[in-house]
Amino acid sequence: MATELTWQEAKARTQAMELEIAHSIPEDKVAKVDQLPTGVLIDCSDTLVTWNGATTVTLTEGTEPEPLVREFEEKYRNSRFTIKIRDPAPAGDYEVQLRSPDIAEIYIVGEGTKPDTILITSSSDCFIWVDDGKYKRGKF
């Protein structure tokens, strides 16, 4: 199902949800939150794309990421998302996926690539790509 979104709207909505997830981690466990300023478009079909981005949460020294990642399963259990757990995920860590049951929107929360980090990767709902002269494979 595609929605009537511009890439700017898809990006804004998706980044807002990334930050909601990041800010749900207890403040005393968070050293900083870094959201990528740009993302990329990935094809859903010949005419549809999805905006994809990421946010990294650096945890305070000595804070283990896995127990915090495990808490997302409970935090979002009765939300608009379907929960999928991957234990282990391909990288070998515990991963929580928040998937919209009706649209392509998804947020994957897991341990980051650097120690003491949590990585939140995202994908917006699919939307119609409108060629406005911007290179589709660029940064958005």
Residue 139 lies in a domain: no
Q: How confident is the model at residue 100 (pLDDT cuts 50, 70, 90)?
A: very high
Residue 86 lies in a domain: yes
Q: What is the pLDDT of residues 39-77, one digit of tens each?
A: 999 999 988 999 999 999 999 999 999 999 999 999 999
- Spatial CA neighbour of 2 closest among 130, 129, 127: 127
Number of domains in the chain: 1
Residue 134 lies in a domain: no
Compute φ and ψ for 78, nearest 5 degrees. Answer: -105, 40
Which residue is associated with the tokens 């911007």?
A: 134
Residue 138 lies in a domain: no
Give the residue with greater pLDDT, 53 vs 134. 53
For the chain, the average pLDDT equals: 92
Which residue range is the domain that position 72 belongs to? 7-128
Q: What is the DSSP string of the chain?
A: --B---HHHHHHHHHHHHHHHHHTS-GGGEEEEEE-S--EEEESSSSEEEEEEEEEEEEPTT--HHHHHHHHHHHTTTSSSEEEEETT-TTSS-EEEEE-SSSS-EEEEEE-SSTTEEEEEEE---EE---SSS-TTS--
Residue 136 lies in a domain: no
Rounded to two decimals, the pTM is 0.92
Q: What is the Rg, in whole angstroms, of the alpha carbon atoms belonging to the chain?
A: 15
Residue 135 lies in a domain: no
Q: What is the pLDDT of residue 3?
A: 67
Residue 123 lies in a domain: yes
Residue 2 lies in a domain: no
